Amino acid sequence: MAWAGGAEPHGDGRGDKRPAWDNKGQYLLSCLGFAVGLGNIWRFPYLCQTHGGGAFLIPYLIALVLEGIPVFYIELAIGQCLRRGSIGVWTAVSPYLGLGCLTVSFLVSLYYNTVLSWVLWYLLNSFQDPLPWSSCPLDINRTGAFEAECQASSTVSYFWYRQTLNITADISDNGSIQWRLLACLAASWAVVYLCVIRGIETTGKAIYFTALFPYLVLTIFLIRGLTLPGAVRGLIYLFTPNPGRGVQTLRNPRVWLDAATQIFFSLSLAFGGHIAFASYNPPRNNCEKDAVTVALVNSLTSLYASIAVFSVLGFKAANDHGNLLRLLNAFDLPDQSISRDDYAAVLAHLNATQPESVARLPLEVCQLEDFLDKSASGTGLAFVVFTEAVLHMPGAPGWAVLFFGMLFTLGLSSMFGNLEGIITPLLDLGVLRRSVPKEVLTGLVCLLCFLSATCFALQSGSYWLQVFDSYAAPLNLIIFAFFEVVGIAYVYGMPRFSDDIACMTGRRPGLYWRVTWKVVSPLLLLTIFVAYIAVLAWTPLSYRAWDPQYVGPLGATGSHFGPALAFPWCHTWQDGCPKLQEGGAS
């Protein structure tokens, strides 16, 4: 019959009846919450815009259809069929595969929750007016001047790098533990423990809020963002291909690689979390429809988020009017007489009539495009760019609370999946005696993760996180996914798997599924793996560092690339357009 692989149809390693979802909605929301994470907000919009907007969607959709959905379906099907976590499910293929998935889930939980603790810190600081990142603090002696580091960069960068992270200039310089970050880390692990304490019994209740709240906030931001001035320019910039590139975008292998990896990590494949979620399903459940639904909704969410994000970014860019003010003041033109659109024409006219005066002005070439090109991804987007955008919106604290609340719930629902990927296999293995309650196991896991993650609360913690995020997780996940697909298609056997699916969903998998599982997905994953290795080999390993002593080409201090393994340095330009100083003569 269908229950091949020697697994019992019911029950887990503990012998009691296996927990089950209260209803299908909880299961779908859990999978969706796990898939939709911080990357949908701050990675996809950046990629979409870097690779020319509308043109990027083509490789993205192709990767979704050929790689994302098939692997996702395999995970859900195998979990639902064998009703075990990742270790139990992959024993037929290789015992190390399940162990590897568990380890990667553990490592990713460590640094993912650290990012959440940063979000929590910002959330806690958003409940005040004016926001703490709106102004520079006075220097130590209170002589009336502002902190030098803050003046040289910007208030938001200063708040992020100095007052939050208190970052050192180098990864080898560890510094001391930041007790504020440690407290936030403890709080976020406590919140995660509260939600995961009884497994899906508690996450199933929490997921209603954590999975749906982000959509509500995104909608609010979308509506607000679209009504802000300059939003349309941001959107146009997002979707138009870069001038002179157009169709050539599709010929750039980097674009395909980015699309494939983005779809892969966006769906949170090979963590074991989806397998764990599906293992709590009733045996007869149409996991094919589930897989397609969740994958499509995940991609649509990415698109939705990028529209919201870029409309706000467009507004922020339109707000940079330092140059306009300089022109007005220097030539004594009426207040607000030059709009952003007239700027170019007026500048040309003035340059023609009074070139020497214009030359003396410290005008920077500050275009919308240049501004949107920089630091609009990852933590830079959330903690530097977006926080500054929020400052200019009326009712700033409210928007900040909404934004960081959304990020926190997004990350939290992904953490549920990560932790289920750890806890479910451990429960199935029966590491603790049956008499020991599940709360103890989850508590021990959370405690162990918290203690391991304290290294990220050091002053150089952010650098370690970058290194982890860039090098530790991605390669392993691709390898595991490759072995998952190959294991199912060739070791477990396609006929056996088709029988299982027929039993669960009512019909055998069609040609599309069989072809992608046997040929296309393994090939794609292998290609991504090889390309990743190639990129790693060619480019020196590096990380972005913040060095207060470093002075960039435009005279602004800021971040630059530092060596991850003592490779030669490569400096980059950062924070290009300094704002007009407030309160007095420029």
The residues binding another protein (CB under 8 A) are 121, 124-125, 127-128, 137-138, 142, 144, 183-184, 186-187, 190-191, 193-194, 197-198, 202, 328-329, 332-336, 437, 439, 582-585
Three-state secondary structure of 208-233:
HHHHHHHHHHHHHHHHHHHHCCCHHH
**257 assigned binding-site residue:** no
Q: How far is the CB of 205 from another protein (least distance, A)?
A: 11
**260 assigned binding-site residue:** no
**23 assigned binding-site residue:** no
Could you give the count of Cα atoms lying within 13 Å of 318 in the half-sphere of its Cβ?
20
Nearer to another protein, 198 or 496 (CB): 198
**413 assigned binding-site residue:** no
Helix axes 69-82, 521-538, angle to 10 degrees: 120
Nearer to another protein, 126 or 574 (CB): 126
The one-letter code for the residue type at 216 is L
**586 assigned binding-site residue:** no
Phi first, then psi: give them for residue 99, nearest 5 degrees. -65, -40
Nearer to another protein, 128 or 172 (CB): 128
Nearer to another protein, 190 or 534 (CB): 190
Q: How far is the CB of 123 from another protein (least distance, A)?
A: 8
Q: How far is the CB of 124 from another protein (least distance, A)?
A: 4
Nearer to another protein, 244 or 583 (CB): 583
**33 assigned binding-site residue:** yes
Distance CA 547, CA 170 (A): 8
Token pair in block for residue 445:
């896991």
Nearer to another protein, 324 or 524 (CB): 324
Nearer to another protein, 193 or 463 (CB): 193
b (16+ CB within 10 A) / e for 523-553? ebbeebbebbeeeeeeeeebbbbbbbebebe
Q: How far is the CB of 399 from another protein (least distance, A)?
A: 17
3-state DSSP assignment of residue 575: coil
Distance CA 167, CA 160 (A): 9
Q: 406-409 long-range contacts, Cβ below 8 Å, gap at least 24?
A: 406/213, 406/214, 406/217, 406/218, 407/38, 407/41, 407/119, 407/382, 408/116, 408/119, 408/120, 408/123, 409/209, 409/210, 409/211, 409/213, 409/214
Nearer to another protein, 206 or 525 (CB): 206
Q: How far is the CB of 414 from another protein (least distance, A)?
A: 19
Cα–chain-centroid distance for residue 47? 12
Q: How far is the CB of 583 from another protein (least distance, A)?
A: 6
**329 assigned binding-site residue:** no
Nearer to another protein, 6 or 334 (CB): 334
Cβ pair 543, 466 in contact under 8 A: yes
Q: How far is the CB of 216 from another protein (least distance, A)?
A: 20
Place of tokens 């055998």: 508
Nearer to another protein, 65 or 124 (CB): 124
Phi first, then psi: give them for residue 557, nearest 5 degrees. -75, 155
**493 assigned binding-site residue:** no
Cβ pair 545, 552 in contact under 8 A: no
Cβ pair 382, 119 in contact under 8 A: yes
Cβ pair 109, 423 in contact under 8 A: no
Place of tokens 């030539």: 331
Distance CA 502, CA 572 (A): 55
Annotated binding site: 33, 35-36, 40, 266, 298, 410, 414
Annotated binding site for Na(+): 33, 35-36, 40, 266, 298, 410, 414
